[in-house]
């Protein structure tokens, strides 16, 4: 690439939970992504720089980082869109522990995913006929709106309900629970509603709405969580679940 115009001043988080930002000069190119910038530093300045990526096309959800104060999928974020005065500050995702440099520890994120019963529980066996689901049914439409999550944890990093309440399951996890609540094939829904109705469940969401502002897939976890709030409220009144 020869179309170098000038240089970017890039601060990268170095260290683990405690650490500091270190500054690098990176050549600026047209259409360069934030991931390109990080990769350039690792290839040309310091091969020990740690970060995570896989697909580079916005499908795998592994390259999210904090870019100039906001969580973003770095492979699909063009530098020109987020750069401020020629500067980029890139750190690991907020609200998660740091393993090293730009790689956040995703374990809590996926543990909460399990806690919210984000795993499909089949209600039939291979010997049963395949369930027919009408594409225009209310449940299918609700599930469709929430189903494209790539587990990038951007919503989780942007959520102050998560920051202020470590028990809170989180927007992605509850969004996932909502898709399964709307999946008529799933057999574990009473348990799932119970799991999201206790302390730290969907009622800990304060509708701050940062999740839907930042979701790279344009999903709306706040709306999904509102659905769970209604559904659990109804189940609680009917005595199907406990507080």
Partner 1 sequence: MIARTARTLDHRRNLLWLAALVHRLSGLGLAVFLPVHFLALGLAINGEAQLEGFLRWTDRPVVKLAESGLVFLLAVHLLGGLRLLLIENLPWPGWQKQLATLAIGISVIVTSIFLVRVF
Partner 2 sequence: MNVRLYLWQRLTAAVMVPMIMLHLALIFYATRQGLTAADILSRTRGSVAWALFYGTFVLAASSHASIGIRNILTEWSPLKDRAAGVSAMGFALLLGALGLGAVAAVVSP
In this structure, the number of other CB atoms found within 10 A of the CB of residue 74 comes to: 27
Contact, 122 vs 167, CB < 8 A?
no
Q: Which of residues 3-42 bind partner 1 (CB under 8 A)?
A: 13
Q: Which of residues 205-234 bind partner 2 (CB under 8 A)?
A: 206, 229, 232-233
Question: Which listed option, partner 2, partner 1, none, makes contact with residue 209 (CB within 5 to 8 Å by class)?
Answer: partner 1
Rank residues 15 and 122 by Cβ distance to partner 1 and give the closer one.
Answer: 15
Question: Which listed option, partner 1, partner 2, none, makes contact with residue 222 (CB within 5 to 8 Å by class)?
Answer: partner 1
Measure the CA–CA gap between 174 and 206, rounded to whole angstroms: 13
Q: Which of residues 199-238 bind partner 1 (CB under 8 A)?
A: 206-210, 213-214, 220, 222-223, 226, 229-230
Question: Which listed option, partner 2, partner 1, none, makes contact with residue 13 (CB within 5 to 8 Å by class)?
Answer: partner 1
Question: Which listed option, partner 2, partner 1, none, makes contact with residue 1 (CB within 5 to 8 Å by class)?
Answer: none
Least separation in angstroms between residue 146's CB and partner 2 is 20
| 87: enclosing H helix or E strand | strand 87-91
Rank residues 110 and 120 by Cβ distance to partner 1 and give the closer one.
Answer: 110
Helix (H, G, I), strand (E, B) or coil at 11: strand
Instruction: Count CA atoms closer than 13 A to 93's CA, side-chain side.
Output: 32
Rank residues 16 and 208 by Cβ distance to partner 2 and give the closer one.
Answer: 208
Rank residues 126 and 242 by Cβ distance to partner 2 and give the closer one.
Answer: 242
Rank residues 35 and 228 by Cβ distance to partner 2 and give the closer one.
Answer: 228
129: region left, alpha or beta (phi > 0 left; psi from -120 to 50 alpha): beta
Question: Which listed option, partner 1, partner 2, none, makes contact with residue 203 (CB within 5 to 8 Å by class)?
Answer: partner 2
Q: Which of 214, 212, 219, 222 is nearest to 71 (CA)?
A: 214
Q: Which of residues 88, 150, 169, 197 is near partner 2 by CB under 8 A?
A: 197
Q: Which of 211, 200, 204, 203 is nearest to 230 (CA)?
A: 203
Helix (H, G, I), strand (E, B) or coil at 210: helix
């Amino acid at each position: 690439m020869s179309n170098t115009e000038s240089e970017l001043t890039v601060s990268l988080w170095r260290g683990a939970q405690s650490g500091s930002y270190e500054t690098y000069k990176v050549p600026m190119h047209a259409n360069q992504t934030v991931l390109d910038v990080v990769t350039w530093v690792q290839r040309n300045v310091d091969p020990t720089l740690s970060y995570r990526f896989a697909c580079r096309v916005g499908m795998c959800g592994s390259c999210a980082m904090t870019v100039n104060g906001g969580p973003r999928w770095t492979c699909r974020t063009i530098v020109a869109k987020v750069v401020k005065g020629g500067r980029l500050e890139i750190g690991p995702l907020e609200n998660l522990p740091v393993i090293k440099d730009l790689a956040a520890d995703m374990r809590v994120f996926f543990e909460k995913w399990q806690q919210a019963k984000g795993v499909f529980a089949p209600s039939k066996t291979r010997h049963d006929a395949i369930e027919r689901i009408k594409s225009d049914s209310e449940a299918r439409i609700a599930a469709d709106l929430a189903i494209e999550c790539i587990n990038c944890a951007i919503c989780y990093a942007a959520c102050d309900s998560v920051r202020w309440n470590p028990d809170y399951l989180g927007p992605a996890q509850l969004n996932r629970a909502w898709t399964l609540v709307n999946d008529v094939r799933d057999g574990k829904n009473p348990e799932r509603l119970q799991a999201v109705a206790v302390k730290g469940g969907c009622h800990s969401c304060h509708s701050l709405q940062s999740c839907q502002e930042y979701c790279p897939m344009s999903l709306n976890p706040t709306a999904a969580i509102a659905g769970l709030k209604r559904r659990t409220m109804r189940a609680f009144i009917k005595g199907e679940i406990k507080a």
